[in-house]
Amino acid sequence: MCYITKYNLVVRFGNKDLAKYPFLKEAFSYITKYDFKLEDLDSKDYLHLIYKAAEKIENYLFFGRYEYQINYSKTHETIVQEEVIIFLISLLLIKSISIDAVTKKFALLESMRFEKYLISDLNTADRDDKTIKLILYKIFEDLFSTKILLEVDVYNFYKIRINDYLDHPIAFQEKEWNLINRTLHNGFVYLDGNEIVRLFRNELYLLIIDRIKKMSIDRIPDTIMAISKSIKSRWEQMHPSINAPVYNAVTPPCIQHIYDQISKGENLPHPARLLLGTFLIYSNKTLEEMLELFKRLPDFDEKITRYQLEHLAGKRGNSKRYFVPSCEKIKLENLCYETKICQGISNPTQLIRKKLDI
Amino acid sequence: MTDTLSFDSNNSGKNGKHASKYQNAEPDDKNKNWLEGIFRKYYFYHYTQLELGELINEHEFGFRLFDGKIRRHLAFNDKKELYAYIIKFSPSDIFYSSSRYQSPTAEIDQKGWIGSDLIFDIDGKDLHLECAQSHNLVLCKDCSFISKGIISKCVGCNSTRLQIIDIPCARCIKSLNVEVKKLVEILNDDFGIDSECIFVYFSGNNGYHVHVVDKNFYDASAKKRNAFAQYLMGKGYLIENLGIRRNNEGALIPMSNKILYNQGWRRRIFDSIHLSIQNHKIDDKFVKKYNRMQDANNNNIKDAINTHILDLSAKIDPNVTMDIHRIFRLAGSINSKSGLIKAFCKDLDSFNPFVDACFIGDSKVEIESKLNIKISLKGKQFSIKTGKNTLPEYVAAYMICKGIGDIQNQT
């Protein structure tokens, strides 16, 4: 068994690596050492970077795409500086748009982009390439205050102290991430490569949101302000405020909670999507009506959502139609927000019938 | 209380009654008056049995007095101050916070929580043991009739207002020991907690308290402690963790070549169902054996596995573990439900609570028993008949605490 931590190996990133992880302190130092100030963004010299950040954000928000090309045709130093500045501009734009759903969608797709880099780095790295693993250690230790270790003797599993693992919100959010569904041994939670990357994405998502929320800026440069206004208005046109699409019925509180989450731009866990999908199918919504609602989710993918809704409706696979989960199941999934109107029901659909009976 | 205060100075008479000017029990409640004196005598002679760590001033204390009142949010500067309080008021039960606080006497939200040991409570009642059906008693709250065995209606008055009286037997204790061992094993293997950091106590009645003193978990929040409890109980375990997934037909099938670290619940379950996983990988041998098992279980392997999880799980009370502000019975103090003390078990296998936790004196007293019953304490068997019996104080205390006997006038 061998523990590798940043304490016994010095982390030396190549510049290229840092360009992919602009949120790291080391990357940030590339712009601070040249005395970069936010006011500098008013200069035309930075216009191409502002446009690049804007294009990235538009791709995220309006097309759900997180393909993004780092321009490697420059000196290493310039590549890192530009990526850090683009990252900063992106945060500024999102801050200035000031819509929760936009912030969350941006945070999710940006963290997915970084996740993609990390997976690629971990996969292409030689099994003994400690440098790339150290990037992972550094990210976790610097950003998430979690020390991760490597169990080299057992398929390179990563491990985190139990108490540290439970500091990550995901451990309480999704069933498969609850402590009971993790492999524990000798005081550590064991995670394979894919799991550690998912943990990274989730934490980075929260971190990006936190950074945007905590940004306090006296003055946003004019060009950035103008772009943010245009993105904001386009978003608002595409996303008018939602009304609970249940007709002639009492909206079950669990479903209402999901609508509220969608309005806030929250990403829904799988059981919540299943509940919403089955409920909408039960309410005789058309596929297009349902897609209209699901497209507000930050990670919306029309092809996948269409397939899944058709599957739930029994139009795919084994033709089995899925019914709305019972209140008991909903409670188990922590999706129940019971109120007085729920008295005596065992399935949220009974509220619709209740209303129709009146 | 100072070192110079003698037990006799608190004793109102020379007639063996340990009454005091600080008596809390109602004067006409003979049982409570007698017990209060007996408890005071125990604390006077055995105060060193009380297990108190360092930094006593950072813990909250609570007491139930013989008048039924509970006093909480108390703190003491040192052991002597505490001993003085205990001997003065002779509480029926003494509680102490596992948590340390900046201001232990403040209201809960103002206390300034510092940290707490992990505590696990295993209660005989939660094991639903078969033997308990035969030896437990039921007290009718309306007519006070006591019946043997578990009933749903009072034999005397048909009332359903009943209260179970635990009379644990050696088999109950043996079953509890099995549960403690399961818990300790998971704490050792999965949580990496050294056995030297795990302290097992007989609760004084029908259960065990397991205290974990480990700095890695000392500052864990209530939410984290709840996650520990759910883990130990095997609650919410997803069968997919065993490298099994549901196919389109809904059948559970193994995921060939899947790499799974064979530790924790996974190893425990695989060992229990005799399904071995070689080199942390689902190989052909595993798949073949799994398929055979599925056939043997009529394709209902999930239920079979859930039964194993239930057997393997630690039967703890999760509310106790997650409640960081709870006060626990102080080790070495008497449990008023039995007259036995909460006692440290150095070696669970050789520990006999009916001997090792019985510290009350053996002077003879007269007691009116409400039923015929056999009681084994301090290694002696007592066949008690309904009516008057002359018995050692420790048996009398046990019977009164259980509500099955009344003390007679002492001369």
Q: Is B406 on the interface with A (CB under 8 A)?
A: no
Q: Is the pLDDT of residue A17 over 80?
A: no
Q: Which CATH superfamily is domain B1-116 in?
A: DNA primase, PRIM domain (3.90.920.10)
Q: Is B249 on the interface with A (CB under 8 A)?
A: yes
Cα–Cα dist A226/A240, whole Å = 21
Residues of chain B with CATH 3.90.920.10: 1-116, 121-234+315-322
d(CA A208, nearest CA chain B) in Å: 25
Q: Is the pLDDT of residue A125 over 70?
A: no
Q: What string of DSSP letters covers B1-19?
A: --TT--SGGG-S-SSS---
Which band of pLDDT confidence, cut at 50, 70 and 90, is reported for residue A119?
Answer: confident
Residue B17: predicted pLDDT = 47
Which residue of chain B comes nearest to A193, CA vs CA?
B259
Mean pLDDT for all residues in chain A: 82
Which of A151, A163, A41 is closest to A96 using CA atoms?
A: A41
Percent of chain A with pLDDT over 70: 87
Query: How many CB atoms are closer than 10 A to CB A273?
Result: 18
Find the mean pLDDT for residues A17-28: 82
Q: Is the pLDDT of residue A6 over 50?
A: no
Residue A244: predicted pLDDT = 56
Question: How do residues A227-286 score in pLDDT, each as one tens digit?
Answer: 999 999 999 888 876 665 544 457 899 999 898 888 877 778 888 899 999 999 988 888
Cα–Cα dist B32/B401, whole Å = 9
Mean pLDDT by 10 residues, chain B (411 residues): 33 44 75 94 94 93 93 94 95 95 93 96 91 87 85 86 90 95 98 97 96 95 96 95 84 88 95 90 90 82 92 95 94 96 96 96 94 94 95 96 89 48
- Partner-chain contact B192 A190, CB within 8 Å: no
Q: Which residues of A touch B237 (CB under 8 A)?
A: 180-181
A135-141 long-range contacts, Cβ below 8 Å, gap at least 24? A135/A11, A135/A13, A135/A17, A135/A21, A136/A196, A136/A200, A137/A4, A137/A5, A137/A6, A137/A11, A138/A6, A138/A11, A138/A24, A139/A21, A139/A24, A139/A200, A140/A200, A141/A6
Chain B residues 27-56 with a CB less than 8 Å from chain A: none
Positions of B annotated as catalytic residues are 121, 123, 317
Residue A245: predicted pLDDT = 53
B269 in helix, strand or coil?
helix
For the record, the structure tokens of B266 come out as 């996974």
Residue A269: predicted pLDDT = 81
Residue A5: predicted pLDDT = 31
Pick the CATH number of B121-234+315-322 from 3.90.920.10, 1.20.120.160, 3.90.550.10, 3.30.360.10: 3.90.920.10
Q: Is the pLDDT of residue A342 over 90?
A: no
Q: Which residues of B touch A162 (CB under 8 A)?
A: 191-192, 216-217
Strand boundaries in B86-237, DSSP class E? 93-101, 113-116, 118-123, 137-140, 146-148, 162-165, 198-202, 207-212
- Partner-chain contact A181 B260, CB within 8 Å: no
Question: How do residues B117-137 score in pLDDT, each as one tens digit?
Answer: 999 999 998 988 888 888 889
Residue A242: predicted pLDDT = 65
d(CA A336, nearest CA chain B) in Å: 17
Q: Where are the alpha helices (DSSP H) in chain A?
A: 15-20, 25-32, 47-63, 76-97, 100-124, 130-144, 162-165, 170-173, 193-214, 222-238, 253-263, 270-282, 287-294, 302-312, 327-332, 349-357
Question: How do residues A304-333 score in pLDDT, each as one tens digit?
Answer: 888 889 888 888 766 678 899 988 888 777
B377 in helix, strand or coil?
strand
For the record, the structure tokens of B71 come out as 């006093």
ipTM of the prediction: 0.88
- Partner-chain contact A162 B191, CB within 8 Å: yes
Residue B11: predicted pLDDT = 36
Whether A168 and A199 have beta carbons less than 8 Å apart is answered as yes
Interface test with A, best of B190, B258, B262, B269 (most A CBs within 10 A): B190
Number of CB pairs, chain A paired with chain B, less than 8 A apart: 84
Find the mean pLDDT for residues A68-94: 89
